[in-house]
Structure 1
Amino acid sequence: MNPTITLPRNNSNASSFGPVPSSSRRKDGRVRMPRFFRRLFKFPQMDFEMAVWEMTSLIIAPKKVFRQVYYHKQTRNTWHRADPSFTYLLSFFLLLTALSWGLAYADGFSKTLRITLVFIFGHFLLTSLLVSTTAYFLVGKLLGPGVKGLPGRNKRAGLFGPPGNDTVEQLEFGYCFDVSIRAFFPVWVWLYVVQFLLMPVISRDYWVSLFFGNLLYLVAFGYYFVVTFLGYNALPFLHHTQLLLTPVVAFGVFWIVSLFGLNLPKHFAPVLWAGADLRKSV
């Protein structure tokens, strides 16, 4: 599937989904609403084909997904995509998987509804907002000017420049949110879909079940941090982004330790955080 990229309209205004540039103000001085929010319910303008292509590429070749950021910067003067199609599509997929987990492990409609709300608004949206907010305030400050003592330190440049100064690159909250929701997609594939299909096998009290069950978590979170690294590595004004891969090493050590008796699917399956009982169908 080949995505199509349309040229921006002449009356489009850039928004950083964070600091508001002077070009995003109305003539009466009021601030315009960021395009992301203005397009929340304009479904005909959403590029779902691009969203599907990104989801496929995130599993096969995640580096391709973030090659588009230069196009958006050159044409719309913003790094992030003001298109909620990816968020809507992944939320719909989470709805389907939540219903599947609920039918298999929940008792009644109320618990299935609870699982659905927890999956979409808790696991996906709330977690993505928390991660993107943390990255917005920490990643830029640590990796924007450069880490003190490491090569590439630029003492004159910072993350946040003076208001209306377009010469200083800024880390946009919208882009941080883009990275977070795209990094969540591989987690959904491995822990919400593959784990659900393999749950009757990997939750058994056998070492082989423990090995492959825990391996799913290693692959899922490994993908999460790799996609996060690729997202921020695509921005030319960030330095030493390889530091974002450090959690992969830490989780690899935790995975090795877990092989001595900690079955992750039995204790950390997504449905457990919504109050379901795995013993119902296992």
Structure 2
Amino acid sequence: MNAHINFPQRSGPSTFGSTLPTNTRPSDTTSLRMPRFFKRLFKFPQMDFEMAIWEMTALIIAPKKVFRKTKNTWHRPDPSFTYLLSFFLLLTSLAWSLAYADGVAKTIRITLVFIFGHFIGSSLVVSALAYFLVGRLLSGLPGRRRGLFGPPGDGEQLEFGYCFDVSIRAFFPLWVFLYVVQFLLMPVIAKDYWASLFFGNFLYLAAFGYYIIITFLGYNALPFLQHTELILTPFAVLVVVWFISLFGTNLPKHLAPVLWAGAALRKNV
């Protein structure tokens, strides 16, 4: 008589938009339970970089079109946007380093801080805060369990993966205004003139204003959240801070991205 082993069937939703069918073979269980985001992390041919470029363009001119449900999940298990924006940050870090850093060591430091500190690190922190605060305070379904990465079959759960999607897309305008435009205008907006102070500080108002608006649009797209307009509250505070800064605080001189990485602005800026 041949021995026969009955493998226990594992149940429960998977993460990042993948499902575990009931007829799954035991040998396939591990691979199917792995989040699709991580499975595609190094599969570059499967990444949709064209969609990522379209989203970056839309985030500036029509951000509302970016957030929509795809198949059975709001989260998109495609790291192409993260890779592409990280590459752009690499390029801008080299530009800031050539202009304001001395030596290879500081260049490497600025590059690492730009990508893993400013972008990835801050996005993870904001995603974690949004996952717990937005999911708890704005959910129209009290008592419902929130999926960490979210099963695709349940469209009424806040997914951590979706929170991360919103955060990295909201970071894109920050990159445009503070890492690109500010770098190009730095010789002008860092001067001791009120016009320089006004336009330099306006870049920060535009950058963080876009960040707040895109964050609001991201969560407002979820039909099971209520009172998402509360996310716009920091915008009023931002306007007040910007107005106060016009009385003598040149933000580019104190908040330029290269300063966050430990480099110093040259005196002739």
Q: TM-score by structure 1 length?
A: 0.83
Which residue number corresponds to residue 118 of structure 1?
113
Q: Distance in 1 between matches of 2:252 and 2:54?
A: 30
Q: 1:165 to 1:78 in 2, by over 3 A?
A: closer
Q: Which residue of 2 aligns with 1:263?
A: 250
**Conserved 8 A contact 1:187-1:220:** yes
**Structure 2 residue corresponding to 1:90, chosen from 54, 75, 85:** 85
**What is the Cα deviation at residue 158 of structure 1?**
3.0
| 1:208-265, Cα deviation, whole Å (9 max, x unpaired) | 1110000000000000010000001111101111110111111000000111111110
110, 132, 137: which one pairs with 1:137? 132
Which residue in the other structure is 1:50 paired with? 51
For 1:113 and 1:26, the matched residues in 2 are separated by 47
Separation of aligned partners in 2, 1:253 and 1:189 = 23
Q: 2:205 aligns to what?
A: 218
The secondary structure found in structure 1 opposite 2:266 is helix
For residues 52 and 164 of structure 1, do their structure 2 counterparts lie closer, same or farther at Cα, with a shift above 3 Å needed? closer
Residue 87 of structure 1: how far off its partner (Å): 0.2
Q: Which moved more, 1:188-197 or 1:26-35?
A: 26-35
Question: In 2, distance between residues paired with 1:182 and 1:165?
Answer: 21
Distance in 2 separating the partners of 1:252 and 1:223? 12
Superposition deviation, residue 110 in structure 1: 0.8
Identical aligned residues as a percent: 71
Distance change >3 Å, CA 22–CA 137, structure 1 → 2: farther
Q: What per-residue deviation string (whole Å, max 9, x for no partner) do you get for residues 28-65 of structure 1?
A: 66571100000000000000000000000000110111
Question: Contact (CA 8 Å) 2:189, 2:196: kept in 1 or not?
Answer: yes
Largest Rg, 1 or 2: 2
After superposition, the C-alpha distances for 1:72-124 in whole angstroms (9 at most, x for unaligned) are: 1xx2x221111000000000000000000000000011101110000000000
Check conservation: 1:159, 1:170, Cα contact below 8 A.
Answer: yes
Amino acid across the alignment from 1:92 = F
Q: Aligned equivalents of 1:47 and 1:281: distance in 2?
A: 43
2:9 alignment counterpart: none
Residues 275/167 of structure 1: CA separation in 2 closer, same or farther (3 Å cut):
closer
1:204 equivalent in structure 2: 191
Equivalent-residue separation in structure 2 for 1:175 and 1:26 (angstroms): 29
Contact 2:123–2:164 at 8 Å: present in 1 too? yes
How many Å separate the matches in 2 of 1:259 and 1:165?
Answer: 48
**Contact preservation (8 Å) 1:21, 1:164:** yes
CA distance in 1, matches of 2:49, 2:162: 18
Which amino acid counterpart does residue 42 of structure 2 have in structure 1? F
Equivalent in the alignment of 2:144: 158
- Output the CA distance in 1 between the equivalents of 2:91 and 2:205: 24
Kept after mapping to 1: 8 A contact 2:52/2:81: yes
Tell me how far apart the structure 1 counterparts of residues 92 and 40 of structure 2 sit (CA, whole Å).
26
- The 3-state SS of whatever aligns with 2:235 is helix
- Taking structure 1 as reference, are residues 102 and 228 closer, same or farther at Cα in structure 2, changes over 3 Å only? same
SS in 2 for 1:279: coil
Q: Which amino acid aligns with 2:120?
A: L
Task: Label 1:45 to 1:216 Cα distance change in 2 as closer, same or farther (>3 A).
Answer: same
Aligned residues: 252
Q: Is the 8 A contact 1:141 1:159 kept in 2?
A: no
